[in-house]
Chains A and B, each alone.
Chain A
Amino acid sequence: MPPVLVSRFTATSCIGRGLDQTFAALLDRQSGLKQCAFQGIDINTWVGEVDAVDDEEMEPDLQDFNCRNNRLAQLALRQDGFAEAVDAAASRWGRKRIGVFLGTSTAGILQTEWAFRRRDPVSGCLPADFVYAATHSPYSLSDFIRRKLRLEGPAMSVSSACSSSAKALASAKRMLDAGLIDAAVVGGVDSLCATTLYGFHSLGLLADGPCRPFSDDRKGISLGEAAAYLLLERMPDSPDGDAVLLLGVGESSDAYHMSSPHPEGLGARIAMEQALSSAGLSPASIDYINLHGTATLNNDSSEAKAVVGVFGATTPCSSTKGATGHTLGAAGALEAVICAIAIQHDLMPAGPEAGQRDTTTGIQYLMSNQRQRVSHILSNSFGFGGSNCSLVFGRST
């Protein structure tokens, strides 16, 4: 299938609002992780919280959508002229020819957590201001963004845990390939909540400090929150010279365990091989791999086995989750934007300093930022339920 043009992109996470701040943080190897002080949650862990999310105000006709996830979604949508670029695309293609496909793992479940704390002591009812469809429902995110952008084409949310927004890009590419649409707003938004913080804590998967992907003393995940969007469009006849392209997608299932990865990384390997095949590229043509790299002992070691199996030991790779935290359903889109930044700025980001790397993994983990031309990148996103997705990005020239 032909490549798809990534005509605009933006991301907001704990390392910055929009592309300039995100690029500067990657260049300086900064981390946005801090000791968890989120809404009184009592866990000794670090999180990537986005500042001032709750200062966002909803438009009067979108009040039903008022929840932290949609506030974060709205804050991010304002950055980098993204909404204006979608408007311009709508005038090119028509509002009915632009799809909205966004990934989220928990949408606005935080709103439901709070509603349960405010149940009527007598009747047990949830408060009258709780609107399930516009906050808790996985579709609430795509519905909200579709209304904000006044788009009228197909829409859905993708919710496959931590692969959600990577798989949203894959679904959108299929819709473009099939000719059902001419453009798509894709991406992912996930926000901090008690369910995921206490849930990952109960699984023993949270680190007690900033996460250290692929380090020899890694202890687990730091959760984060983020919103990231990409505008995908049918490939023009003559794209700009530095245009970023989505070249290929690969997906698989582990068929192994609900919350542990396949120990040999078999599902991950299939996803990477499919993505390369879909892009028409050999492993040797990939310049840099943005790893899933959550920093749990098992996730990193099984991903490393899969990477070595497909690429050997020489392809530079890193995880950027030490900077942003693991943003769950937003991670695929956030890291897709990081890949686009890497291509446009000739940067292979090493992520924050994290001590000695685990040399037993056998991968070429970046120990410092590399500034050199980056033509092809593969990005991995893997999730609970054994859901795997790999994306390949490139440049037009």
Chain B
Amino acid sequence: MTLLNAYLEGVGLLGPGVTNWPQGLAILAGQAPYQQQKTVLSPPASLPPAERRRASPGVMAALQVGLEACAMAGVHPADPASVFASSGGDGRICHAICSALASGDTMISPTQFHNSVHNAISGYWGIAAGAMTPSSVVSAYDGSFSAGLLEAMTLLVSEQRPVLLIACDSDYPQPLYDARPVPDTFAVALLLTATPHPGKTIAQLRFCGDDLFTDSAVQAMDDIALEALRQSIPAARCLPLLQAIARSEAGRIVLDYVNPPHLAVDVAPCS
């Protein structure tokens, strides 16, 4: 029984050695080799200068993939409701604030403080996109992408508009890195609609009631380097789903969630 149904019309991708979705698609489809490199971040032109200067790696990456997915779908960035999924807040800001407090410096910078909130990316997206739509900000450790996908699929039912899911995590500096070893920035955006649009819809995503929350094994990536990426950055736990989409494969993809259960997504190509 299908409980929830969505149509994927736009994808954005940025990560170590991947600069956008077309490149990611070629790598995941096996048409181009994957070479791991440091994630290349660009200051977002969509933000006013003051906010642009304050943009963290997570904000830069999230805005880039969100705009890429909206452009691909032909959706104005102000229109979709949004879901931001992230394992944790900005590790660099946390490091700066905790270091200052430990040294007795209690004058926290106001900018650092408001950028320290877990929903900073959602706030910057709203300002950049002019989006006054509902925006959910969720976290489930290594299962944050799946938590975001669940939130996006249910939001799609309640909102009469497309939903943009952005999952993003960025690196933690030492000494936090030892406790939470996230090495680099990875961001993915999926633009979902409730009804298909011929010529635009890439894939159908379905949640089926009988086995949505499953104990079946999580799918790993065949490529060793891509599997290492999947395991090292929480947002990259989406890679098995993106691979099925890139290869136009139909089937059930099992993703990391709150382990247990895992999350089973049925995917089918639409073009």
A residues lining the B interface (CB < 8 Å): 1, 42, 96, 105, 109, 112-113, 115-117, 119, 124-126, 130-133, 136-139, 142-143, 146, 152-161, 164, 167, 171, 174-175, 177-180, 194-195, 198-203, 251-259, 266-267, 270, 274, 278, 383-387
Quick one: closest B residue to A43, CB to CB? B106
Known A255-B130, A257-B127, A384-B117: A175·B109 in contact at CB below 8 Å: no
Asked if residues A171 and B139 are in contact (CB atoms below 8 Å), the reply is: no
Asked if residues B4 and A178 are in contact (CB atoms below 8 Å), the reply is: yes
Quick one: closest A residue to B257, CB to CB? A154
Docked CA distance A379–B114 (Å)? 24
B241 lies within 8 A of chain A by Cβ? no
**Residue contacts A-B, CB under 8 angstroms, 25 given:** A105-B118, A112-B176, A116-B98, A116-B99, A124-B174, A130-B179, A137-B88, A139-B144, A154-B147, A154-B257, A160-B117, A171-B138, A171-B151, A177-B154, A179-B3, A180-B3, A180-B212, A202-B110, A203-B110, A253-B123, A255-B126, A259-B110, A274-B134, A384-B117, A385-B114
Known A126-B179, A154-B258, A161-B117: A139·B140 in contact at CB below 8 Å: yes
B residues lining the A interface (CB < 8 Å): 3-4, 51, 78, 82, 87-89, 94, 97-99, 101-102, 106-110, 113-120, 122-124, 126-127, 129-141, 144, 147, 150-151, 153-155, 157-158, 174-176, 178-180, 207, 209, 212-213, 257-258, 260-261
Quick one: closest B residue to A270, CB to CB? B132
Task: From B94, B141, B155, name the one whose CB has the most chain A CB atoms within 10 angstroms.
Answer: B141
Quick one: closest B residue to A146, CB to CB? B258
Which residue in B99, B124, B131, B137 is a CB contact (below 8 Å) of A258?
B124
Asked if residues B150 and A126 are in contact (CB atoms below 8 Å), the reply is: no
Asked if residues B139 and A180 are in contact (CB atoms below 8 Å), the reply is: no
Asked if residues A156 and B132 are in contact (CB atoms below 8 Å), the reply is: no
Asked if residues A174 and B134 are in contact (CB atoms below 8 Å), the reply is: no
Asked if residues B132 and A255 are in contact (CB atoms below 8 Å), the reply is: yes
In the bound complex, residues from chain A placing their C-beta under 8 Å from that of B258 are: 143, 146, 154-156
Asked if residues A199 and B108 are in contact (CB atoms below 8 Å), the reply is: yes
Quick one: closest A residue to B106, CB to CB? A198
In the bound complex, residues from chain A placing their C-beta under 8 Å from that of B174 are: 124
Docked CA distance A105–B88 (Å)? 11
Docked CA distance A171–B116 (Å)? 23
Which residue in B109, B119, B153, B260 is a CB contact (below 8 Å) of A161?
B119
In the bound complex, residues from chain A placing their C-beta under 8 Å from that of B101 are: 113, 116-117, 194-195, 198
Docked CA distance A256–B127 (Å)? 6
Asked if residues B119 and A132 are in contact (CB atoms below 8 Å), the reply is: no
Known A42-B106, A156-B147, A174-B157: A105·B117 in contact at CB below 8 Å: yes
In the bound complex, residues from chain B placing their C-beta under 8 Å from that of A202 are: 107-110, 113
Asked if residues A174 and B117 are in contact (CB atoms below 8 Å), the reply is: no
